[in-house]
Chains A and B, each alone.
Chain A
């Protein structure tokens, strides 16, 4: 197990290197001089030269990369042109609503998809199975921002039950926090719900067809015990993986949904930064979310390794 953990952690290094190079190069994709673009046409030449100097744009590109990545490890994540405070403070302030929304959406998705997937697998080929397939197909095909717009239209304009815009931080009361996040979470969670339903169904079907389950059935094990004790445990592994991946999907999907519901999260930060040409903020956001993704994948793999000995003994 130790060997597996070490191997898995070492494996992160090249991935991190590639991510950092991609994020670093982003700013060099801007057409023309980044300093000029950030400051706009009206800035004086002296100002532009000054910014070039502080951003280190005059140095060779490799030196710039090394400076940038060393700075990152030392805690210097770049400087926003428009906002005060360190990059960490800015990100932390904006990531809270986004994480809150993603967790809520994931919980909603799980509450619906795991039972639905289980029912579909247990009654394969029945009407319920077909209905559930259609539901998940629709879930996968309706993009979150469209679902968001439709929900706003339906709930806020016609029914007026839930707030269709705005955000209340968790400090102002959990219930209020949840109330404001419900429509965004439904729109965000629907696609994941579709995916997890399908995954649960196929994972469970595979296990239910296994010989040891047939054996247990032949011995007269109660169907309920059979599904939940014998089958579900083995089907859980692929489901855990999907949940891990889903969380990151949700985080980046939240970027789009936030703009509909006016939630002051990472999405709003990135869109504002694009308008303001505050490129270092965009770089920092992409880098941080990519690192979160790598860490979550690592955790999923480690859980996998603990749960299933075959994984860590492989290779």
Chain B
């Protein structure tokens, strides 16, 4: 990828910067705030933003700024784990489906079936059955997102497979695994990475929705969905409980989407 061209794309650069700031603030949360996300001070409950608590406090008197920062760890952590796992598993499915015809039919039918169930709904149903926990959120979201990556990597892999050099590799007697991972995979990776940034963003949204509904990351642990869900109960007198975590989440998703769009435009010459 051409770095100069990338820097020229304002959207992608701004998106990338926003994403990096969000990730850094999550990583360095303990240095940015002196309050713990679980420290309760009952006498300080539902205090409006002030110098002591810049985002205010929640229903248990916990510092909201600290909860939003630590919530970023949970939410971005879930998004990151989901996107990496989905990328690896989805690409494996897509690559093998493209290489073996008998497998193609089977795997693609399974993906289509999974895709037919709306992602949020399937994730809610999976969480209802598996029980609320961070690990289960990741499992559900990976299951829901695999078909997207599988489809994209399969279609690029099918195009690559037709190339003469792959035929030559085959004729030379290269093992299928070698052809798949060493020769086909590098041609598939760029569209997969673009799609992965979108999955990152949507995983953050769906995780927040699940936690908001009470079937995601279980309570005292902060996640943006949890904080918002608590905020809903006090919406009439504590606006800060909605506005701050909301802006934080929307900015993160916005950053990821802008970055994804920018990278996609870079890789696709027809969009210029």
List residues of A whose CB falls within 8 A of some B CB: 14-19, 21-23, 26-27, 29-31, 137-138, 140-143, 145-146, 149-150, 152-153, 157, 248-249, 251-253, 255-256, 259-260, 270-271, 273-274, 279, 282-283, 285-286, 289-290, 293-294, 297
Q: Is the CB of A260 within 8 A of B254?
A: no
Q: List 29 A-B contacts (CB under 8 A).
A: A15-B112, A15-B116, A16-B113, A17-B109, A18-B109, A22-B117, A29-B130, A137-B254, A138-B254, A143-B250, A145-B208, A145-B212, A146-B228, A149-B231, A150-B242, A152-B235, A252-B121, A255-B120, A256-B212, A259-B213, A270-B121, A270-B125, A271-B213, A286-B117, A286-B121, A286-B125, A289-B118, A290-B116, A293-B116
B263 CB–A CB distance under 8 Å = no
Which of A140, A273, A289 is the most central at the interface, judged by chain B CB atoms within 10 Å of its CB? A140
- If A15-B116, A18-B113, A289-B118 are given as contacts, then 15 extra A-B residue pairs at C-beta distance below 8 Å, sorted by A number, are A17-B109, A17-B113, A18-B114, A18-B116, A27-B129, A140-B257, A141-B201, A141-B250, A143-B208, A146-B250, A270-B121, A270-B124, A270-B125, A270-B128, A286-B125
A141 / chain B contacts, CB cutoff of 8 Å: 201, 250, 253-254, 257
A137 to B12, CA, bound (A): 12
CB distance from B93 to the nearest CB of A (A): 14
The answer to whether the Cβ of B191 comes within 8 Å of any Cβ in the partner chain is no
> Which residues 28-72 of B sit at the A interface, judged by CB distance below 8 A?
none
Q: Which residues on B sit within 8 Å (CB–CB) of A279?
A: 128-129
**Pair count A-B, CB < 8 A:** 134
Q: Given A15-B113, A22-B113, do A143 and B129 touch, yes or no (CB 8 Å)?
A: no
**Chain B residues with Cβ under 8 A from A22's Cβ?**
113-114, 117, 122
Chain B residues, Cβ within 8 Å of A157? 235-236, 239
**Distance A138 CA – B253 CA, assembled complex (angstroms):** 9
- Give the docked Cα–Cα distance between A30 and B250 (Å): 33
Name the B residues within 8 Å of A21 (CB-CB).
Answer: 113
B48 to chain A, nearest CB (A): 14
Contact A260 B232 (CB under 8 A): yes
Q: Which of B98-119 contact A (CB under 8 A)?
A: 109-110, 112-114, 116-119
Nearest CB of A to B151, in Å: 14
Are B246 and A248 in contact, CB atoms less than 8 angstroms apart?
no
- What is the minimal beta-carbon distance from B33 to any residue of chain A, in angstroms? 23
In this complex, the member of B112, B117, B254 whose beta carbon has the largest number of chain A beta carbons within 10 angstroms is B117
CA distance in complex: A252, B258 (Å): 25
User: How long is the Cα–Cα vector from A22 to B146 in the complex, in angstroms?
Assistant: 15
Give the top 5 A-B pairs by smallest Cβ distance, nearest first. A18-B113, A252-B118, A141-B254, A29-B129, A252-B121
Q: Kindly provide the distance from the CB of A291 to the nearest chain B CB, expressed in whole angstroms.
A: 8
Residue from the list B109, B212, B215, B250 in contact with A274, Cβ < 8 A: B215
Q: Once the chains bind, are A31 and B131 in contact (CB under 8 Å)? A: yes
Residue of A nearest to B205 (CB): A143
Which residue on A lies nearest to B111, using beta carbons?
A18
Interface residues of B in 181-226 (CB under 8 A from A): 201, 205, 208-209, 212-215
* Contact status B213-A282, CB under 8 Å: no
**What separation, in Å, do the CA atoms of A31 and B132 have in the docked complex?**
12
Contact status A153-B120, CB under 8 Å: no
A253 with B213: in contact, given A26-B126, A149-B235, A153-B242 (CB under 8 Å)? no
Give every chain B residue within 8 A of A286 (Cβ-Cβ): 117, 121-122, 125
| A285 contacts across to B, CB distance below 8 A | 121, 125
Residues of A within 8 A of B129 (CB): 26-27, 29-30, 279, 282
Contact A146 B246 (CB under 8 A): yes
Contact among B125, B213, B246, B258 for A150, CB-based, below 8 A: B246
The reply to whether B126 and A14 contact each other, CB–CB distance below 8 Å, is no
- A143, B249: Cβ atoms closer than 8 Å: yes
Q: Which residues of B contact A256 (CB under 8 A)?
A: 120, 209, 212-213
Q: Which residues of A contact B131 (CB under 8 A)?
A: 30-31
Set A18, A253, A273: member contacting B120, Cβ < 8 A: A253
CB pair A255 B124 closer than 8 Å: yes
Is B243 close to A, CB under 8 A?
Answer: yes
For B209, the chain A residues whose CB sits under 8 A away are: 143, 145, 256
Question: Which residues of A are found within 8 Å of B117, using beta-carbon distances?
Answer: 19, 22-23, 286, 289-290, 293
* Cα–Cα distance between A289 and B122 once the two chains are bound (Å): 10
Q: In the assembled complex, which residues on chain B have CB atoms less than 8 Å from the CB atom of A149?
A: 228, 231-232, 235, 242, 246
Q: Please determine whether B118 and A251 come into contact, CB atoms closer than 8 angstroms.
A: yes
